[in-house]
Structure 1
């Protein structure tokens, strides 16, 4: 089976969230670049580097049988001809549960190549409990 060509970042991102909602590993991996330097950070987990590690993480997540529905909001986009960065708030619901978990903050990075747009990084982490609360003191900048 040949990989689809995503002609826009919106198309690639829609395919990513669709594969996530369907727990479809093959569809998920069509969105990812085949570069060895891909990176994925799932909430509260270590950084995964490399396509094999990324694939295995999604396989394990999908094998758990949990169906996730993700709606994104508050999009911040930075883009040029070859690179696009999306920072979004993910509102994740678990199929069959009434409880609405706190939102996630996610960054998706896409590159454009011969096969269209591909995901090279997905980083999701829990949002603060009250994202509108003022910071305590000055922020600590590490870099």
Structure 2
């Protein structure tokens, strides 16, 4: 489903904290002292989550962040834990029973089954929101071990940080977070708005507006989609996509 974001023969992350970043938001050519080849095209842009720049040369890319002191995150949390396997089985059997009840025109029974399914879906959404909140808790604190535990350990996982190419594969995704956080002072300050959650079976996703503000800076925003897969009863992130927006 995903194309590897990094070459199988060359996987190199380069971090440079002292390089110029265009803070107006327009793409420019950037001169980097750490880059020997002057023919490489480098694009720089400032976003609310972090400032970064991308070196377009084979599979090499550069993340940079220049933040001052940053503060707390606000996030909503739900910690209810259910058995995912039993939920999936119950959902499937209930939907089959619902269809049978409709076919024989037993509408009273069908109504009861619909109510049960609504309650089941609500519980699924609660656990999914809890996983999403744990993601933002690790994000705000820079807790790499927590971030590692949240991602599905698969080659197909994909992470798209604002303004840069998607990164695929568990190891490379985790390394990208490590590098993105390299110049942070934690905790960060984040606000989430317009949170919507959708879940069915073993797949679910959360969309939200993510706003980030650094000390002395302005709010920057991203539209975020977090896709989760339920594995052995637990939700794991398989896709994180953050698209910058104009405020």
TM-score, scaled relative to structure 2 = 0.47
1:117 aligned to which of 235, 239, 243: 235
Match of 2:145 in 1: 26
Count of residues paired in the alignment: 122
Q: Could you say what secondary structure the match of 1:63 adopts?
A: coil
Larger helix proportion of the pair: 2
Q: For 2:219, what is the secondary structure of its paired residue?
A: coil
Mapping for residues 69-108 of structure 1, pairs under 5 Å? 69-94=189-214, 97-108=215-226
The CA deviation at 1:62 is 1.7
Q: What CA distance in whole angstroms lies between the structure 1 residues aligned with 2:133 and 2:232?
A: 19
Say whether residues 1:9 and 2:128 are aligned partners.
yes
> Which of 119, 128, 132 matches 2:246?
128
Q: How does 1:18-57 map to 2 (within 5 A)?
A: 18-57=137-176
Flag structure 1 segments of 5+ consecutive residues without an equivalent. 1-5, 130-143
SS of corresponding position for 2:164: coil
| More strand as a share of residues | 1
TM-score by length of 1: 0.78
Task: Work out the CA distance in 2 between the residues paired with 1:37 and 1:115.
Answer: 20
Give the whole-Å Cα distance in 1 for the aligned partners of 2:235 and 2:131. Answer: 6
Larger CA Rg, structure 1 vs 2: 2
SS in 1 for 2:213: strand
Cα-Cα RMSD: 1.6
Q: Is the 8 A contact 1:24 1:62 kept in 2?
A: no
Any conservation in 1 of the 2:191–2:212 contact (CA below 8 Å)?
yes
Tell me the CA shift for residue 112 of structure 1.
Answer: 0.7
Q: Is the 8 A contact 1:107 1:122 kept in 2?
A: yes
- Secondary structure of the corresponding residue to residue 154 of structure 2: coil
Measured in 1, the distance between the counterparts of 2:137 and 2:170 equals: 20
Q: Structure 1 residues 128 and 102 mapped into 2: Cα distance closer, same or farther (>3 Å)?
A: same
Aligned equivalents of 2:245 and 2:196: distance in 1? 15
